[in-house]
């Protein structure tokens, strides 16, 4: 009997698709114990995801010292952008309260992720947002979390109010003092810095000059940071240096936005006289406030519209994060980092960008500067003459610019001045 052999082609087995998994972790305080907790969460999720069969580790996105009611969590926003870009299939987080305490924010986020096929798994509640009953459960539990946040906020307000009524300030961090048992105690060396700032200002020295003087002397702020104009002004405006306290000058809008607002009569204020030893006399403090107003009035021109330019608020320094400002120099208008302009190269080694160069590159990228605010969120100025155009759709365009030659930097006025000097030198003596 003849044996027949038939070749059978087997279909190639496809490997199961791996799930790309990321984790989100957050602590709501900057204290050492909390930051240790954050580190533990990062390690836990790192190990959990990498050990799970069928999962691919996509990283742990972690935020420090920010609350779940805030929408400006940097790494949370980065996680959402990576999900939108198709880099993540599932997000693991400890609980709803860690993800967001605002019901609206929570539901908007999980709904958006659900539409693009990204699941969010909440460990404590054992809920997958992509499941059929996930949204209902999330809505109920998030409402409880939001009420818990409101309750905690109201309890904190009550405690602060009791302290104000007893003459106790909310913030004990004040240059020149240490807060001990509900009272400010003078720190001699820091008190001398406070007096130096007040005396310098009354002698005619400007805020910027005082800032530079303190930094050059190696004097640090109360938190150990370099001085900036706003920190100098805060010292000059602080009524507590007179030995008196005016409490509840500001307040929080609500427990969700946490916006700090000026108290213009919405809430009671508390004035406590002779609460602690003064560093500055009340007479000197009032003289400084009058001088601040006088200088402000000198540079304020009512009815005159302040000039705005196409790149105002758009160019951001890639080194220090501050905005660039327009400055007119001998060679023409340039855009310069505000830190570099105010504090010098030691604080930000960025370069100024000629306005003509900025316009030329923007027109090359966008076609016109008119489309600037419609298409992009920012222009990031990086080192090595690099400009990064950040578009609203999340994409970026990188461009390099070259320094102007010396001849290009000369204006017609500068050329004419040079010609006149040359003619003067060529005239014979006598």
- Distance CA(15)–CA(7), nearest Å, equals 24
Span of 70-79, 161-170, 187-196, 408-417 with lowest mean pLDDT: 408-417
What sign for the dihedral angle of Cα 248, 254, 257, 258?
positive
Among candidates 335, 402, 345, which has minimal Cα distance to 369?
A: 335
pLDDT of 70 reads: 45
Span of 58-67, 259-268, 272-281, 407-416 with lowest mean pLDDT: 407-416
What are the angstrom distances between the C-alpha of 338 and each of 206, 229, 347, 351, 365? 17, 11, 11, 11, 25
List the structure tokens of 87: 């880099």
Element (H, E) at 289: helix 282-298
pLDDT of 167 reads: 63
- The C-alpha angle with vertex 37 and arms to 32 and 43, in degrees rounded to 5, equals 125
* Whether residue 68 has pLDDT greater than 50: no
Please, are residues 22 and 92 in contact by the beta-carbon 8 Å criterion? yes
Residues forming a β-bridge with 324: 337
* Whether residue 164 has pLDDT greater than 80: no
* Whether residue 379 has pLDDT greater than 50: yes
Classify the phi-psi angles of 218: left when phi > 0, otherwise alpha if psi is within -120 to 50, otherwise beta.
left
- Summary mean pLDDT of the chain: 79
- Distance CA(163)–CA(372), nearest Å, equals 50
Span of 211-215, 233-237, 402-406 with lowest mean pLDDT: 402-406
- Identify the residue with better confidence: 406 or 278: 278
* Whether residue 348 has pLDDT greater than 80: yes
pLDDT of 131 reads: 80
Neighbours of 1 (CB within 10 A): 3
């Amino acid at each position: 009997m003849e044996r027949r052999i038939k070749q059978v082609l087997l279909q190639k087995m496809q490997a199961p698709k791996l799930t790309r998994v990321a984790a989100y972790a957050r602590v709501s305080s900057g204290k050492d114990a909390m930051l240790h907790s954050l580190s533990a969460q990062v390690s836990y999720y790192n190990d959990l995801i990498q050990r799970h069969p069928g999962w691919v580790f996509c990283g742990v996105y972690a935020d420090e010292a920010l609350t779940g009611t805030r929408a400006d969590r940097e790494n949370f926003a980065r996680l959402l952008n990576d999900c939108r870009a198709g880099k993540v299939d599932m997000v693991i987080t400890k609980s709803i309260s860690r993800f967001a305490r605002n019901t609206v924010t929570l539901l908007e986020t999980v709904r958006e992720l659900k539409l693009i096929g990204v699941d969010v798994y909440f460990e404590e509640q054992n809920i997958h947002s992509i499941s059929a009953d996930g949204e209902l459960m999330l809505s109920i539990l998030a409402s409880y979390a939001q009420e818990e946040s409101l309750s905690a906020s109201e309890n904190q307000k009550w405690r602060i109010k009791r302290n104000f009524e007893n003459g106790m300030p909310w913030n004990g961090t004040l240059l020149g003092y240490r807060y001990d048992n509900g009272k400010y105690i003078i720190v001699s060396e820091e008190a001398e810095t406070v007096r130096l700032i007040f005396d310098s200002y009354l002698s005619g020295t400007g805020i910027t000059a005082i800032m530079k003087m303190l930094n050059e002397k190696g004097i640090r702020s109360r938190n150990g940071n370099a001085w900036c104009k706003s920190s100098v002004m805060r010292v000059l405006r602080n009524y507590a240096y007179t030995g008196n306290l005016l409490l509840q000058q500001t307040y929080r809008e609500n427990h969700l936005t946490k916006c700090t607002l000026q108290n213009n009569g919405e809430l009671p204020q508390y004035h406590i006289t002779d609460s602690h030893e003064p560093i500055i006399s009340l007479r000197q403090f009032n003289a400084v406030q009058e001088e601040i107003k006088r200088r402000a009035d000198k540079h304020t021109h009512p009815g005159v519209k302040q000039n705005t330019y196409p790149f105002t608020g758009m160019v951001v320094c890639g080194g220090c994060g501050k905005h660039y400002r327009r400055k007119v120099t001998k060679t023409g208008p340039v855009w310069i980092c505000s830190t570099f302009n105010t504090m010098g190269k030691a604080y930000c080694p960025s370069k100024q960008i000629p306005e003509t160069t900025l316009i030329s590159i923007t027109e090359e990228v966008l076609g016109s500067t008119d489309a600037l605010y419609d298409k992009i969120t920012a222009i990031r100025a990086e080192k090595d003459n690099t400009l990064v155009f950040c578009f609203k759709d999340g994409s970026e365009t990188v461009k390099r610019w070259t320094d102007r030659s010396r001849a290009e930097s000369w204006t017609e006025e500068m050329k004419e001045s040079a010609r006149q000097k040359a003619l003067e030198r060529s005239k014979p003596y006598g």
